Amino acid sequence: MDRKKLFIYFLSLMFVVLLIGLLNLNVLQGAKFRRLSKSNCIRLISQSGTRGNILDRNGEIIAGNRISYDVMILPQEPGQLDRAIAAVSRILGIGAGELKSAFKKNFISSSLPTTVANNIEPRKAIILEEYKVEEPSIIIQPKPLRYYPNGPSACHVIGYVNEIDRWRLTKLEDYGYKTKDIVGFGGVEEKYDYYLRQEEGGLSVEVNHRGKFTRVLGFQPPVNGRDVQLTLDLRIQKIAEDALSGRKGTVILMDPQNGEILALANYPDYNPSVFVNKRTALISGLFNNPNSPLINRAIQSSYPPASVFKVVLASAGLELKKINLSTNFVCPGWTMVGARKFSCWDTHGTQDITQAIAHSCDVFFYKTGLLLGGQNIHDYAIKLGLSRPSGFDLPYETSGFIPSPLWRKLNKFQKWYDGDTANLSIGQGDCLTTPLQLTCMMAVFANRGYLPVPYIIKAVGGVDLETKKRRLLPVNFKKGTIEAVREGLREVVSDAKGTGNILSALPVEVAGKTGTAQVSRGLTHAWFVGFFPYDKPKYVICVLLENGGPGHAAGVIAKRVIEGMNSQGII
């Protein structure tokens, strides 16, 4: 019968519809529904480990961790939230509206506790904990936070921690970094973030339709970050910081025998804990400060080395035999280079190499420089570690710059004049170096012939890195050259007319070189780069005062540092 056949076709069609519907749900939209099904029933409860500590060489904590307490609320019945918020508001003295908006902002799911207040005082945490008997929806969650027992001390070395920014996130996403991760910015915190950072662990739990816990699917214990030990000596660091006391500049102390940085002080500084406490006003103040307190001047800024550069001239002249120990130039207070008159800062009369270093005679070095030529000066500067990154552990090191005739020809299509050589000879002109580079250069004369690669990381996670880090590159100068320069550097201090004579009163024999760098605007930069004790140097010291006046001023700071170390018996 026709009707019956039609009817059976119709019924078969219904089954085909069912199969198509099934195909659509299971196969075509399967992935979407699988995701939905998972988000229905799986919740992650994270537990964070602690970030690794940053220690000084004696194991003192520079950046550690402290337990902070967060207040969380897990409402389970209507009305409970309001009661809990009222209680928290009363005890913490924070407005209920503020707590409520924090609750709304942080709310993820009804099955997870929601943070309403961060980093509360321990005393209040105890009160709230006791209050829990009455209001079980209040949860006090301890959480490790960065803590700086020494305040701003060594802040530029360690850097600070903050929520990851977009730029770092795109760079580090492949290494498992996520948004809202706390990562290091600047210094050791950034460079060694991979070792310092904790691995977040946690529970993945299954919940039922009411958000009630049914079973644990997996647990991954949180892993604490590894400790990083620095070569920094907090005692020396503090002496250096005190000596700098409010003057814009930097003080570096290094062990010339291996390149360990013992102190690296900068001013202006900042307290890294403002980033932990999220003090927004203070943070934006740091970024907008014209004195840029966040800059690590020892490696991130470069300055004209001025007279300190004369050490390069002296060794180049002696090495290339353009001058020798008996070479004498007369300083009448000026000299003519081409048609231009180049003056000295004083009238020195007849000077040999030792005296010229001691008195920082410009005329002697103009003449030496002209004998050497610009390219040779540049090459010897490179040999002594200038104009290239020193290979230091901390990030954002700048390489400085030493001009040369070749560079000028290739890049600027300009001729190199003798006047340029004369300018370069006294470390002026386009010449720029970082304080750390000059420290390393001075170490060559301290340790008699080896350019150290500076480092500040002593051990990571208990594994000593010193043998890997210690690299002394021989500069292959003749013994005579080194000894002559050393003698000159000693005379700077010991000679009655020496530019660093202020340091002669110290109980320890100091050698070094001052520098007064002329800048286009403001006071001159003051340099003192030296080492002590003279015979068996244990420390290289570099003092830079940005717009700090004549080199003498830097010598005063160096004196304070050495006095301080001496009085504490560190030398």
- Contact footprint for another protein (CB under 8 A): 3-4, 7-8, 11-12, 14-15, 17-19, 21-23, 25-27, 29-30, 32-34, 36-38, 40-41, 206-209, 214
SS (H, E, C) 162-179: EECCHHHHHHHHHHCCCC
Q: Are 117 and 70 in contact (CB under 8 A)?
A: yes
* φ and ψ of 267, to 5 deg: -140, 140
Q: What share of the chain is helix, strand, coil (3-state, %, to 5)?
A: 40, 25, 35
Q: Which amino acid is at 185?
A: F
Encoded tokens for 346: 């004083």
Q: How many CB atoms lie within 10 A of CB 38?
A: 9
> Token pair for residue 535?
């015979």
What is the Cα–Cα distance from 362 to 294, expressed in whole angstroms? 36
Q: Least distance from C-beta 205 to another protein, angstroms?
A: 11
First-last CA distance in the chain: 115
Which contiguous run of DSSP H or E holds residue 446?
helix 435-446
DSSP 432: B
Pick the closer one to another protein by CB: 24 or 58. 24
How near is the Cβ of 35 to another protein at its closest, in Å?
A: 8
| Structure tokens, 34 | 């699988």
Residue placing its CB nearer to another protein in the complex, 23 or 406: 23
Nearest-approach distance from CB 212 to another protein, in angstroms: 9
Q: Which is nearer to another protein, 110 or 284 (CB)?
A: 110
Q: Which of 178, 184, 169 is nearest to 53 (CA)?
A: 184
Q: Which is nearer to another protein, 180 or 209 (CB)?
A: 209
Residue closer to another protein, measured from CB, 7 or 396: 7
Task: Give min distance, CB of 135 to another protein, in A.
Answer: 27
Residue 107 beta carbon to another protein: minimum distance, rounded to whole angstroms: 16
Q: Are 140 and 128 in contact (CB under 8 A)?
A: yes
Place of tokens 């519809």: 17
- Range list of β-strands (E), 332-427: 334-337, 340-343, 349-351
CB 539 within 8 A of CB 242: no
Minimum CB separation of residue 108 from another protein in Å reads 17
- Our CB check for another protein shows the closer of 214 and 414 to be 214
Question: How far apart are alpha carbons 202 and 216 in whole angstroms?
Answer: 11
Alpha carbons 490 and 509: distance in angstroms, whole number: 8
Tell me the closest approach of the beta carbon of residue 100 to another protein, in angstroms: 23
C-beta of 213 vs 417, nearer to another protein: 213
- Which lies closer to another protein via its Cβ, residue 112 or residue 472? 112
Least CB distance from residue 57 to another protein, whole Å?
A: 55
Nearer to another protein, 43 or 559 (CB): 43
Angle at 389 (CA atoms; ends 451, 543), nearest 5 degrees: 70
Smallest distance, another protein to C-beta of residue 141, A:
26
Smallest gap, in angstroms, from Cβ of residue 84 to another protein? 24
Q: For residues 3 and 321, which CB has a smaller minimum distance to another protein in the complex?
A: 3
Contact in structure between 80 and 87 (CB atoms under 8 Å) = no
Minimum separation from the CB atom of position 211 to another protein (A): 10
Token duo for residue 533: 């004790």
534: left (phi over 0), alpha (psi -120 to 50) or beta: alpha
Nearer to another protein, 209 or 321 (CB): 209
Strands 228-230 and 54-55: parallel
